Amino acid sequence: MAEFDSLGKTLMILGVVLLIVGALIHFGGKIGFGQLPGDIHYKNGNFNVYFPIATSIIVSIILTLLFSLFRGR
């Protein structure tokens, strides 16, 4: 039964991560997330390129902290 406990814990962590990512996607534009001063946006006529560098770094830091909190238990 220990493998089912591990699977349940993994699914709960994945659910929390998906909830946070979904909230960031939904509310991100309203709180300025995704439009940070390190994000690159290039627009030329009908051609748009968006590189969310600063946003990616912040998401990476948040996910690293979350995973490190749940890894020790």
Residue ranges covered by each domain of the chain: 2-71
User: Cα(66)–Cα(33) distance, rounded to whole angstroms?
Assistant: 19
Using CB atoms within 10 A of its CB, is residue 60 exposed (0-12), middle (13-18) or buried (19+)?
exposed
Say what the pLDDT of residue 28 is. 65
What confidence score (pLDDT) does residue 44 get?
Answer: 93
Who has greater pLDDT, 27 or 64?
64
What pLDDT, in 10s, does the model give residues 9-35?
888 888 888 888 787 777 766 666 667
Query: Tokens in use for 30?
Result: 């309203």
DSSP 1: -
Pairwise CA distance, residues 23 & 12, whole Å: 17
